[in-house]
Structure 1
Amino acid sequence: MKKLLIPLFSIAILASCGTAKISDNGQNTSKSSRGLTKAEKAFQAAYKNIELEDLKKNLTVIASDEMQGRDTGSPGQKKAGEYMINFYKNQGISFPKALGSYYQKVPADFMKKRGGGNLPDSENILAFIEGTEKPDEIIVVSAHYDHVGTRNGVVYNGADDDGSGTVAVMEIAKAFQSAKKSGNGPKRSILFLHVTGEEHGLFGSEFYSENPVFPLANTVVDLNIDMIGRDDPENRGKQYVYVIGSEMLSSQLKIINETANKKTNNLELNYKYDDPNDPERLYYRSDHYNFAKNNIPVAFFFDGIHEDYHKPTDDVEKIDFSLLQKRAQLVFATAWELANRTDRIAVDRKE
């Protein structure tokens, strides 16, 4: 997540998620499997594809010293990007046809004009699953894959910030792809958007919002994941996640997310930072904001400011992978409902 350098002072009826109650081990607890609907069975099978061991495997690579802290445009970040693309290729998940590859170039000049100094050219990475019934409507699941690089010879691995979000998006994509392979692909299209330049100024998401591969008018929502692998001192040991922005622009999104949560791991949803006037200003500090300012509903999933934030001690060994898995499953369940519900969620509020 971007570091804050200067301190700045009628309920809609929710369509059925089609998600039976899922316990921690991924098993149905509210119905016998024999009594599940087709939609519920499809969800349950896909949900189980968000696997703790795969999260650990991918994060161990993404946040390794070999990636040199993944600074924007650096060789280490490009190496991490190659690993992610190979993952998508192995899963059979392609890129948007209009883009022609997994890469969307973010030019150095674009970043320099916005305070990016002498950053080199970099890339957003986009993977895409086309919807079966409403392919022109796009659900975005995003995370930044850059971190702050190497300082004074010490690698800042950014395992939580935002390696955790990066691997969560990869697993969520894998889950949707498994549903597609079984003939239950999402009705709306899903864009898995890994953005660059977040730490320096939200540059990758800003570039995408100004140069969208899909029209912003067709973009239903952005579910943004930035740091979901740890806990903060205030919530030590709790099964929780901060959710920010989910009712800023749509009266339906918060309800959908809360319903998905109750039907899965039932985490404590903490809304402490869900206020644009909060002193930490977290609503403005990650990539979802470049969607929100374009009137696209957003939900930002976050674990809080912990003692290793932006320090070289943000390492894989400190990740709570069980909690990371549960939070990724929540985002997946929310995306599943948004992708498969009959009606697109309404934009019925203003910031």
Structure 2
Amino acid sequence: MKKILIPLFALAIVTSCGTAKISDGNASHPVSTKHNKAFNNAYKEINAEDLKKNLYVIAADDMEGRDTGSKGQKKAGEYMINYYKNLGISGPKALGSYYQKVPSEFMKKRGGGNLPDSENILAFIEGSEKPDEIVVVSAHYDHVGTKNGVVYNGADDDGSGTVAVMEIAKAFQQAKKAGKGPKRSVLFLHVTGEEHGLFGSEYYSENPVFPLANTVVDLNIDMIGRDDPANRGKQYVYVIGSEMLSSQLKVINEAANKRTNNLELNYKYDDLNDPEQLYYRSDHYNFAKHNIPVAFFFDGIHEDYHKPGDDPEKIDYQLLEKRTQLIFTTAWDIANREERIVVDKK
């Protein structure tokens, strides 16, 4: 997650398992997955063992901290792309690959110094009934690199979000193979340059592969593998922004939570006036500023945030599994309900 705070009221970014049963009886046109074999089978695809396997690769020392445009980040990206290829998930046809180049010049003009060219990585599952409507599940896969010869592995920030997106994609693909793929298309968006200023998501929002008018929601995942001192040992997740633009998104997410792992949903930072200003500090904001509903899932600021101790052996993989299952279930509902969620707040 981007470390530097932004000014209050800023108008632009200046820095940047068991079987689940979910039905939402409050939001219009709910999706019921009670006794839905396809959903239940997909849900069970998300497991701590696979999350751990992928994270130990993404956050390994030989990825060199995944700094934007670095050799290590590109190596991590290649691993992710091979993962999607093995699942049979392609990149968007409009791109012709999994890569969306984010030019050095774009980042330089926004305070990115001398960062080299980098890439967003996109994987895509086309919807069966409403393919032009896009549900985005996002996370940044960059971190802060190597400092004074010490690798900052970024296992939680944001290796945890990266592998969660990969696992959610696997779950949707399992449903598709069973003939029960999502009605709406789902874009699995791994963005670069977040730590330097949310550059990858900003570039995507200004150069969208799919029209922003057709983008239904962004569920953004940035640090969901650990706990912070205020919640030590608790089964919780911070949720930020879910009711800023839509009256339905928070309702859908809470229903998904109650009927799955029933985590404590903490809204401490879900306030535009909060001094930490977290609503503005991760990649969802580049969707929100275009009036696209967002929910940001986060575990808080812990003692290894942006420090070399953010390593994969410190991740709570059971809690990471539960949080990933919650986000998948929320995405499943939004992707499969009859009407797209409303945008009724400003």
Q: Does the CA contact (< 8 Å) of 1:14 and 1:255 recur in 2?
A: no
SS at match of 2:260: coil
Point out where structure 1 has 5 or more consecutive residues left out of the alignment. Answer: 21-35
Using the TM superposition, give the Cα deviation of residue 16 of structure 1 relative to its aligned residue in structure 2, in angstroms.
Answer: 3.3
Q: Give unmatched runs, 5+ long, in structure 2.
A: 10-24
Which of 18, 21, 27 pairs up with 1:13?
27
Query: 1:256 is matched with which residue?
Result: 252
What's the CA shift string for 1:23-42, capped at 9, x where partnerless?
Answer: xxxxxxxxxxxxx2xxx211
Within-5 A mapping of 1:98-113: 98-113=94-109
The answer for the alignment partner of 2:215 in structure 1 is 219
Render the CA deviation track for 1:28-66: whole Å, top value 9, x for unaligned: xxxxxxxx2xxx211101000011111000000000001
Alignment of 1:223-262 (within 5 A): 223-262=219-258
Find the residue that maps to 2:38 and give its secondary structure. Answer: helix
Q: Is 1:3 aligned to residue 3 of structure 2?
A: yes
Residue number in structure 2 paired with 1:300: 296
Of 57, 80, 86, the residue aligned with 1:61 is 57
What is the rounded CA distance, in whole Å, between the counterparts of 1:16 and 1:246 in structure 2? 17
Cα offset, 1:277, TM superposition: 1.1
SS of residue in 1 equivalent to 2:274: coil
Give the Cα–Cα distance (whole angstroms) in 2 for the partners of residues 6 and 110 of structure 1: 20
Residues 19 and 263 in structure 1, CA contact (< 8 A), matched pair in contact too: no
Tell me the alpha carbon deviations over residues 299-325 of structure 1, each in whole angstroms, 9 at most, x when there is no partner: 000000000000000000100000000
Q: Of 71, 80, 85, which residue of structure 2 is paired with 1:84?
A: 80
One of 174, 181, 186 as aligned partner of 1:185? 181
Q: For 2:234 and 2:55, how far apart are their aligned partners in 1?
A: 22
Q: TM-score, normalised by structure 1?
A: 0.93
Which residues in structure 2 correspond to 1:192-341 (within 5 Å)?
Answer: 192-341=188-337
How far apart are 1:18 and its partner, in Å?
A: 2.3
Structure-to-structure mapping, 1:28-67, within 5 angstroms: 36=35, 40-67=36-63
Residues 105, 124 of structure 1: 8 Å contact kept: yes
Amino acid in structure 1 at the alignment position of 2:27 = I
One-letter amino acid of the counterpart of residue 192, structure 2? T
SS at match of 1:309: coil
CA apart distance, 1:160: 0.1
1:165 alignment partner, SS class: helix
Which residue of structure 2 aligns with residue 143 of structure 1?
Answer: 139
CA–CA distance in 1 between the matches of 2:185 and 2:8? 37
User: In the alignment, which of 109, 116, 125 is matched to residue 112 of structure 2?
Assistant: 116
Counterpart of 1:211, as a letter, is N
- Distance in 1 (CA, whole Å) between partners of 2:76 and 2:130 is 32
Give the aligned partner of residue 153 of structure 2: 157
Q: Which residue of 1 aligns with 2:22?
A: none
Question: C-alpha displacement at 1:6, in angstroms?
Answer: 6.5
Within the alignment, does 1:346 sit opposite 2:329 as a pair?
no
Aligned AA (1:13):
A
**Identity of counterpart residues, as a percentage?**
83
- How far is 1:81 from its partner? 0.1
Change (3 A) 1:241 1:14: farther
Report deviation, 1:217.
Answer: 0.1
Equivalent residues of 2:8, 2:273 under 8 A apart: no
Matched-pair contact (CA < 8 Å) for 2:6–2:277: no
Does the 8 Å CA contact 1:251/1:346 hold for their aligned counterparts?
Answer: yes
Distance 2:29 2:64 in 1: 45
Note the alpha carbon deviations across 1:157-201, whole angstroms, 9 max, x for none: 000000000000000000000000000000000000000000000
8 Å Cα contact 1:95/1:128 also seen in 2: yes
The farther-off stretch of 11-20 and 162-171 is 11-20
